[in-house]
Structure 1
Amino acid sequence: MTLRERLNELPALGGAMVYGEPHQTADGSTIITVAAVSPRWGARPVGVFVVREGEVTWEAAMDASHIALLGVLTGLLAATLGTLAVVISPPWPNMRFWDIRYRTS
């Protein structure tokens, strides 16, 4: 499969695909950056094509901010549920005065 065929297979992701200038690396590989551009969201990286020894591979870009946000929200939910559990049914003993005074042994 040629590079042109691989480029045509990519979906536009809601906007136009923009391919960067090819860059040569020290080991002889060629790297072509790919970004999706839309009027609403602007440009965002999609990934890179790596051409090495006649083989074309695709490396997708990963946005770690979504993963970090999921971790923060999971921690917030766990803290909220833990606080509610302690407020509704506290782990310390019931020390109300009227319980002690009217207790029959």
Structure 2
Amino acid sequence: MLVFGEPYQASDDITIVTVSRKGWDQRPERPIGIYTIRADGTTWTPAVDASRHALIGVCTGFAAAVIGSLAVLRRPPWPELTERVMAGARRR
């Protein structure tokens, strides 16, 4: 359920109304964004949770590092230098 805050008169021609979402089961309200009302029209500005974006970036980087490490451990990118392979290379 959306909860609209009290209108705030920022200047002579600008009014700001905050919008939040009511939480369930005693959770606090979360900000959703603000409406900016002017004489020439109304604009919506969403509230951005930067910490959530940062968490997604960190998790993506961690997953890429794990996948890359597993690929290198399974089959290293350097040539195989075992005794059997080196003996075969001498015969050629």
Displacement, 1:98?
Answer: 5.0
Q: Helix, strand or coil: the match of 1:78?
A: helix
Which residue matches 1:21? Answer: 6
1:56 alignment partner in structure 2: 42
Residue 99 of structure 1 deviates from its aligned partner by 4.6
> 2:68 is matched with which residue: 82, 85, 89?
82
TM-score (norm 1): 0.67
- Which residues in structure 2 correspond to 1:25-44 (within 5 Å)? 25-26=10-11, 28-40=13-25, 41-44=27-30
Q: Deviations over 1:11-41 (max 9, x none)?
A: x2xxxx2222222224630001111112333
Counterparts of 1:33 and 1:74, CA distance in 2: 32
Q: Which runs of 5+ in 2 are unaligned?
A: none
Q: Normalising by structure 2, report the TM-score.
A: 0.75
RMSD across aligned positions (CA) = 2.2
The whole-number CA distance in structure 2 between the counterparts of 1:98 and 1:60 is 64
Runs of 4+ in 1 over 6 A off after TM superposition: none
Q: 1:23 to 1:88 in 2, by over 3 A?
A: same
Secondary structure of 2:80's match? coil
Do the aligned partners of residues 94 and 33 (structure 1) sit closer, same or farther apart at CA in structure 2, a change above 3 Å counting?
Answer: same
How many correspondences in the alignment? 89
Unpaired segments of 5 or more residues in structure 1? 1-11
